[in-house]
Amino acid sequence: MHPAHSILLLSTLGISTVLAMDVRQELERADHLGHEAASLLLRNQVHLFWSADNTSVLYRVNARANGHEFVRIDLTNGVKSPAFDHQVLAQALAKAAGREVRTESLPLDDVQACKEPGNIRFRAFDKPWRFDAASASVTPDDSPPGPAAATPPPRAARHPGRHHSEAVDLSPDGKWRAFIRDHNLAIGPAVQGSEAMVLTLLSTDGSEEDSYCEPVIWSPDSQKLICFRAKPVEERQIHIVQSSPPDQLQPKLLTIGYPKPGDAIRQPKPRLFDVTGHREIAINDALFNNPWEISETAWNADSSEVSFIYNQRGHQVMRLVGVHGDTGVARPLVEETSPTFINYSDKTYLHRLPATRELLWMSERDGHNHIYLIDESSGQVKCQVTKGDWNVREVLEVDEKGRQLLLKTIGYDGHNPYYMHFARVNFDGSGFTPLTESCGQHKIDFSPDHQWIIDTWSRVDQPPVVELRHAADGKLLTVIESGDDSALVKTGWSRPERFTAKGRDGQTDIHGIIIRPTRFDPNKKYPVIEYIYAGPQDFFVPQSHTPWSNMNTVAELGFIIVSIDGMGTNWRSKAFHNVCWKNLADSGFPDRIPWIKAAAATRPWMDLTRIGIFGGSAGGQSTLAGLLHHGDFYKVGVADCGCHDNRMDKTWWNEAWMGWPVDDSYASNSNVVNAAKLTGKLMLVVGELDHNVDPASTAQVVGALEKAGKDFDFLPIINSDHGAAESPYGKYRRAEFLVRHLQP
């Protein structure tokens, strides 16, 4: 073993048995608290049962530990009342079913109110029943159950070109089928006769090295079609040794396909064919010659043009390209460019409006993510549908007849830039109508007739509140329930504290939370540990109320836990997000460190002489980067399964933020390249079977640290995949390491 560091496999020298036992006991205590926490939160679980005539709604709520009650809401005035006499129904059901029934936990499901007050239909013990309040009786009932609550339809998924040995597609007029056969495009009669089908080849130059592939997309008039053609590429493979397989003594070699940044990728491109003329119509591919992805391919209603979204590799150009159906001439209908990146994975949205030759398109061109109405013929913007210092998170529904959108927004309320809200807006940008209003994170469900919204909102410091609102305008009818965490607070648990401080520029608000242990004593000083995940694909500080999380478990060891979203993370503004560009080692630390210092300035129980950090995956990468580049602040870190060099990780995630082609920024951001800068106490954790991040990425850090003569701990978890530090043994070793180096 190298004298400069210890490799932790089974045990660690120098750890006292007492300390090890104390850590295990504290983790067991924390786990017990976590299991109990959810049951101590009351009136937060609401299940609704809508009446068939839409005049009332019944609901079940967890009114007590291991118990619930049923409540009725009159939809004409919002008045709430007991749904029925619980004790009377319990006695009647027990008599009818010959079973024990507890008043405080009636086993009712599929409950539906009857016209007669207090009467209900329901299912219990796998049978349908009817309760008559007047006679205080329960009798068998064969009525069908009431309707279930409905939700908005999900956004349709995109389907880029794929290859199959034989793809089939029927023409709109029902006469023809298109096939990919022997790497070429062919058509044949839709109805097969008694003899073998006669196929007409539309292409003859396809081969295994350059094959035609699906999707095959017919024009509405069945005269033309689009298919794709792509050359295969040799996919990079990585090799993982499973040292201790459960089914044999000898190790196994596992080989998986794993493309990495800069590798060649398969690039399907569209090809246009005239079916009646049995010929290909050439398309100049200058507008789409280097695709990462081509998606959303569709013809317009009169078959004059086919269009598709072209996402250029490197993600700095995105176009909606139109191709003339007769000439093959391509034109840009919409074009987005960026000197950094276009966030294609969750900010690409296209909805075609064939009746009016318009497009709904999502873009960050004004610095925030908004919807634009575009004239399909000219490509000109007719209207910016939404605007402001907030973002459209998702388009949930498009009402083409009413020309209105249902949106999920983020940051609209002005209280917090991360809170989700919902709103309606007309295609021309008028009539913007918020459907949710309370200060918190919202989610909504709809009544079966879509006339009502069930709005559930919360914050980390506010238990869930469930409200009933009109779906058309968001007007509140009644508060259904408000969560009660008083029993949880009595255990010593406290709600996470929200805190805001200025970031690196002295102007931008940086948001985060502070979590304290249940045995918190404000007269003591506690080490501070940051739980970090700074991946640019999203934001990560919890916004909704959660009784217990992994951060609470670590806090129980005698720590103050903080979680922060620094610059470079998503869903604030394009400028905020751009900080990550070719700069993942930054991880928002110039915002995080001032935030922690500002929090400690008014909280003397935060001891900034003892600062730790931990995280996994991209959080593992950031954890080590914090120790390498900010070792004067972060003293101890546990980095789990980190993508420590972005050249070693998967193609899509790393090229999205570090760009393509691979350049010197990949090396300058590498923890391997910068390993010699380590000054603090480090534990590296990796799962030997990690399929998400090549485990060799961690091994290369180990090699660089060894070469630099650095002291560190290395913990491979045998037979573990990604997230090894969250395994039982990984959690224990992480906890022990943090306690050993941060506690007095």
Which stretches does DSSP call E strand in 551-689?
560-565, 606-616, 636-640, 681-687
Query: Looking at residue 116, what is its pLDDT?
Result: 83
DSSP-derived 3-state class of residue 307: strand
What does the pLDDT average to over 338-363?
Answer: 97
Lowest-confidence segment of 7-21, 321-335, 517-531 by average pLDDT: 7-21
Q: Are 599 and 606 a contacting pair, CB within 8 Å?
A: yes
Query: Looking at residue 158, what is its pLDDT?
Result: 36
Lowest-confidence segment of 117-121, 559-563, 685-689, 702-706 by average pLDDT: 117-121
Query: Looking at residue 20, what is its pLDDT?
Result: 52
Q: Are 340 and 334 a contacting pair, CB within 8 Å?
A: no
Residues forming beta bridges with residue 305, ordered by sequence position: 324
- The residue with greater pLDDT, 149 or 327, is 327
Residues forming beta bridges with residue 643, ordered by sequence position: none
pLDDT at 3 over 60: no
Instruction: Assign 3-class secondary structure to 374-400.
Output: EECCCCCEEEECCCCCCEEEEEEEEEC
Query: Looking at residue 744, what is its pLDDT?
Result: 81
Q: What are 62-92's pLDDT values in tens digits?
A: 999 889 999 999 999 999 999 999 999 999 9
Q: Which two tokens stand for residue 370?
A: 């908004």
CA distances from 15 to 1, 12, 22, 238, 736 (A): 18, 6, 11, 36, 9
Measured between alpha carbons, how far is 592 from 576 in angstroms, rounded to an integer?
14
Residue 414 pLDDT level (bands cut at 50, 70, 90): confident
Q: What are 268-323's pLDDT values in tens digits?
A: 999 999 999 999 999 999 999 999 999 999 999 999 999 999 999 999 999 999 99
CA 288 to chain centre: 29
Query: Looking at residue 300, what is its pLDDT?
Result: 95
Residues with Cβ within 8 Å of 497's Cβ and at least 6 positions away in sequence, in order, are: 461, 513, 514, 515, 516
Residue 196 pLDDT level (bands cut at 50, 70, 90): low
pLDDT at 194 over 70: no
Q: Which two tokens stand for residue 477?
A: 């009818």
Q: Which two tokens stand for residue 622?
A: 């950031």
Residue 164 pLDDT level (bands cut at 50, 70, 90): very low
Query: Looking at residue 145, what is its pLDDT?
Result: 52
What does the pLDDT average to over 325-342?
Answer: 98
Residue 109 pLDDT level (bands cut at 50, 70, 90): very high
Query: Looking at residue 197, what is its pLDDT?
Result: 62
Q: What are 566-605's pLDDT values in tens digits?
A: 999 999 999 999 999 999 999 999 999 999 999 999 999 9
pLDDT at 714 over 50: yes
Q: What are the domain boundaries of the chain?
A: 6-38+488-742, 53-140
What does the pLDDT average to over 506-526?
Answer: 98
Q: What are 450-463's pLDDT values in tens digits?
A: 999 999 999 999 99
Query: Looking at residue 677, what is its pLDDT?
Result: 98
Residue 169 pLDDT level (bands cut at 50, 70, 90): confident
* Percent of the residues in the chain that have a pLDDT greater than 70, as a whole number: 93
Q: Are 373 and 427 a contacting pair, CB within 8 Å?
A: yes
Residues with Cβ within 8 Å of 173's Cβ and at least 6 positions away in sequence, in order, are: 221, 222
Query: Looking at residue 150, what is its pLDDT?
Result: 42
Query: Looking at residue 118, what is its pLDDT?
Result: 85
Q: Which two tokens stand for residue 647?
A: 């050249």
What does the pLDDT average to over 555-562?
Answer: 98
pLDDT at 682 over 50: yes
Measured between alpha carbons, how far is 55 from 725 in angstroms, rounded to an integer?
52
Measured between alpha carbons, how far is 217 from 603 in angstroms, rounded to an integer?
63
Taking all residues of the chain, what is their mean pLDDT, rounded to a whole number? 93
CA distances from 669 to 411, 568, 643, 655, 681 (A): 31, 14, 11, 13, 21
Q: What are 250-263's pLDDT values in tens digits?
A: 999 999 999 999 99
Handedness of CA 343, 345, 347, 352 (dihedral sign): positive
What does the pLDDT average to over 548-557?
Answer: 97
What does the pLDDT average to over 469-483?
Answer: 98
Which CATH superfamily hosts domain 6-38+488-742? Answer: Alpha/Beta hydrolase fold, catalytic domain (3.40.50.1820)
DSSP-derived 3-state class of residue 634: coil
pLDDT at 167 over 50: no
Q: Return the half-sphere exposure (C-beta side, CA atoms, 13 A cut-off) of residue 284.
A: 7
What does the pLDDT average to over 171-195?
Answer: 87
pLDDT at 157 over 60: no
